[in-house]
Amino acid sequence: MTMKFNVLLASVAAVALSAPVFAKDLTVDLSGEPSSLDPQLQWNPDSYYVYRNIFDNLLTRDNTGEIVPQIAVSWERVSDTETVFTLRDDVVFHDGEKLTAEDVVFSVQRITNPEFGSPQLGQFNQISGAEALDDVTVKLTTDGPYPALMAQLVKLSIVPKHVVEVVGNEAFNAAPVGSGPYKFEAWDRGISVSLVQNEAYWGAEGPFDSATFRAVPDAATRLANLQAGTADLVVGLDSDGAAQLAGQGSVQVLSAPTERVAYLGLNLDKPPFNDVELRKAASMAIDNFGITEGLLGAGEIPMAQLASPAHFGYEEKIDPWTFDPEGAKEIVSAKADLAATPATFATAPVFDQRIVQALQQMLNDVGFNISISVTDMPTYLNIVRSAPEENAELSFGRWSCACQDADGITYPLLHSDSAWSRVSDEKLDVLLDTARVSLDPEIRQAAYAEAHKIVRDNYYVLPMYQAAVLYGASSDLTFAPTANESMFLNRMAWSE
């Protein structure tokens, strides 16, 4: 009997040792520190990954990309300019106060107020009015028809009016209060942000007791942390990193094509790229195919327009860039003095510096004089939104509106009214305005096709490729990447 009992204990112990033991928390390594936890002040990736779990949005997208309810359970367009939303009545903020229509109205008015200075203003400035009809009904009015409204509202995070008005914007950013599946716990500046599970969440609860988002700018360190098991999920993986993880049973590589378009931004008001011929030479100097296939190799697709197949408004007939370094040298040599003007190339650690360095070399090889300036993400964002005389001559960007509509990328980067745009072209503005307000998909598509051609012919900006996203993850983590790069903690799970 004793022998049988001891054998039984040994068997139980063996099973216990062989069974996976899952942590109750999640550690995520980001490429940089969030620049803001206020969802209406910023939406760069490192910020978005974190605050999207603290806040609910009016609408959201499911994992297939379809627009689905979140705070709003239904909506009806009652006229070309008016849409009425019915809200959930069982949502409470993390401080226990109920979310009502007044909070939705406040959130809309806050993000559309030019004095608030949201970098997302261009995404929402077609909304001209917000009115609470009762506690669970809101009417939004747009300045003319706005077909991209629902696509943009998937990014409208609802903030608590009673908290923001009392503590102010700065204190709210330091300790945000939302209604999402995770609550803010702590922000150790420069190190990490900690969230804890919201046990009172109205929707699907998250599988982790807590989540820690760490700022780890060095890609090799992020990779080493994943391999050592001190990180469960890492962002900003490149093809070299993915190759290092191949065949390791404890980790996995997750990927998806995104709506993000990588591009080379040009300062059109400063030499050398205030000259259209030198902008053309720059386009000819860049080997987009070599970058996507030889350097990246994760499924990126060369693009010559600020849209991708993931967007409404993508135009298949836009000609690809011509790679002709010898032709570029001829143009540059004919304008050697102007081309030799020292030009600063602004970038940040969140971007793949192999690409930035390759672009610098390609441009310098044909006769430009480009130097790279790497700053933290908040500084970079201030640079690329600054006045032309303070802006860098070049910048590398990867734009995503998380809306999958060309309005969300072309308007902010190309319309003269946008703080992000370096372009001022009246005809282009008219086309972008037409596409923004027409309810006829054919009219919108035609306007975007012409707009893409104008940008292509004038080399206003140099789109490069549709980005793919690569994550490194523990093999025990279930996570399905999406085109809009959302990192919803309550859509993850530890595998059984």
The DSSP-derived string for 135-187 is TTEEEEEESS--TTHHHHHTT-B---HHHHHHH-HHHHHHS----SSEEEEEE
Residue 8 confidence (pLDDT) above 80: no
Cis peptide before 69 (omega within 30 of 0): no
Burial class (CB in 10 A: 0-12, 13-18, 19+), 21: exposed
Band (18; pLDDT cuts 50, 70, 90): very low
HSE-CB at 254 with a 13 A cutoff on CA atoms is 21
The stretch 324-350 carries a mean pLDDT of 96
Mean pLDDT of the chain: 91
pLDDT at position 129 is 97
Among 5-9, 83-87, 240-244, 434-438, the minimum mean pLDDT is found in: 5-9
The stretch 184-196 carries a mean pLDDT of 97
109 vs 123, more confident: 109
Total residue length of the chain: 496
Residue 21 confidence (pLDDT) above 60: no
pLDDT at position 12 is 31
Residue 16 confidence (pLDDT) above 70: no
Among 34-48, 83-97, 134-148, the minimum mean pLDDT is found in: 34-48
The structure's pTM equals: 0.76
What letters, b where the CB count within 10 A reaches 16 and e where it falls short, cover 281-303?
bbbbbbbbeebbeebbebbbebb
Residue 187 confidence (pLDDT) above 60: yes
Residue 10 confidence (pLDDT) above 70: no
16 vs 286, more confident: 286
Residue 73 confidence (pLDDT) above 80: yes
pLDDT at position 23 is 53
Closest CA to 478 of 18, 26, 17: 26
